[in-house]
Structure formats: structure tokens, C-alpha cells
Amino acid sequence: MGILSIMTGKAGASGFGSASTAEQVTDGVDASHLTVVITGGASGIGLETSRVFALRGAHVIIAARNTEAASEARKTIMENNPAARIDVLKLDLSSLKYVRAFADQFNSMKLPLNILINNSGVMFCPFQLSKDGVEMQFATNHLGHFLLTNPLLDNMKATAESTGIEGRIVNLSSYAHHVTYPKGIEFDKINDEKKYSDKMAYGQSKLANILHAKELSRRLKGAATTCYVGLNPQLRGVTGKYFADCNVAKTSKLARSDELAKQLWDFSEELIKSAQ
């Protein structure tokens, strides 16, 4: 999608564009047979995603650090949609301990899992380390979602096998992935406070979201854009792509690197092991 299309809202190849709403891109979709986990589903894009998925009948699990705010969001959605099926579970993505606890809790509920939307994140933070000693934006936006995805995969695979419905994992990124450090991911200087730039660190974490999806797609073989990617039947069989305004978009050169995606995967696994 070019800048003119974004500004004018002109539809792309999908038939949708930047002016399309989440309700429009899911019009006519019956999601009553689906269960979806949405991280950060109580505010911003995540809240609208939760609302529209619930509107289409899906069983929505809002995974949020602030469960009081999430419960209020649930109440607001249900005031306009009394039939909505929404549950709230605590998830603090900045803590690997809490990510594991969430995965254990969800799996113990014996619910199916059709869709995982890795939406939550922090933006332009001053330099700080997570509880596990990792730069906060990288820890929350990428590493927490990386860890969360893995223990839920078996559930997703089993759900897909038993229902015949293709599972979907959606990693939210942004154009900010173009604005990152020269190497893309500063593997050897993730926690270097002297080199830290809040904007480039954010871009680094958003690049990591795309690379995670890219490598995850390779290993498995098998707001509006979020809902479109999560629900629209046009995307059956589509995997490992980057979408903007409901259309496949071009990523940065770094985001297209298979080697960098694999390196990030291995680096993330090592970070998690070292924090145990």
C-alpha cells in the first residue's frame, strides 16, 4: 500500500483499505465456532479487535496485565452485545514467569484455540530492564509473545486437527519496523543503555514481531487489519505475510531476511533459557 492509498483510503487488492473498519472487513463472517486469545485486548486496537470478534460470535479471551481494566472492557462490550462470550485472564508479557503461568492456566481450561493475536505492546519507553533483565520494549513486544506462542501451539494444532479449521497466529507489527538499528536486531547489545534509542528500540521490537512470524511460518509447515487477517476467509492458507490496511505490504529488507529470522529465534530461545 502506497502513502496515497493510506491517505485516501483507496481499496487495495483485497477490496479493503485504510478507510475500512473492522466491522466492514468481517461482515458476514460467522465466528461462533472459534476461540481467540487477544493479548492487550482491553484497550486501543486490541479492544476493538475483542469487540468485533465477539460481535461475530467468537469466544474471546482477553489476556491483559490490568485485569480490572480488562473486566471493565468486557462489561462495556457486553452492554452492547449481551450474547458476547468474553473471559479475562491475567498476562504480564514483561515477565516470563507470568507468561508461563498464563499458558498453563489457559491450557488447564481445556478450551480449543483457533486464533492467537499477539497484539499487546509498549512504545517509546525510557531505558529499563524487565524483571528478567531484558530491555523492556524487546522483552514485552517480542520475547513475551515468543514465549507465549510456543506452549499454545500444541493446543492450536490439536484444535485444527479435530475441527478441520485452519489455526491462525497474528503478530501485530507496524511501519516502525523500518526504523531500527543498522543491523536490525542488536543481538549483542540488547541491554546496552548507552546505545539505547527509544524509537529504534521500538522499531527493533516491531521488526522482531515480523521475523518471529516469518520463522514460525517456516517451522509450522503449515482494528480492521487484525480482524481481516484473523477472520476473513480470503486468507485461508496464507502464512508468513505482512499486512497493512488489509493488504499484503512490502516490508523492509531486514524483515525479509530468513537468516535474521532464524538468528532471532535462536537468540530468543537462549534468552528464555538464561532467565530460568
Active-site option among 196, 202, 228, 242: 196
Which H or E element spans position 80?
helix 67-80
> By three-state DSSP, how is residue 210 classified?
helix
Contacts 24+ apart (CB under 8 A), 180-184: 180/204, 180/206, 180/207, 180/252, 180/254, 184/254, 184/257, 184/260
Q: Around Cβ 1, how many Cβ atoms within 10 Å?
A: 19
Distance CA(9)–CA(17), nearest Å, equals: 5
Q: What is the 3-state secondary structure (H, E, C) of 92-136?
A: CCCCHHHHHHHHHHHHHCCCCCCEEEECCCCCCCCCCECCCCCEH
Asked about 196 being catalytic, the answer comes back as: yes
Query: Which residues are tagged catalytic?
Result: 196
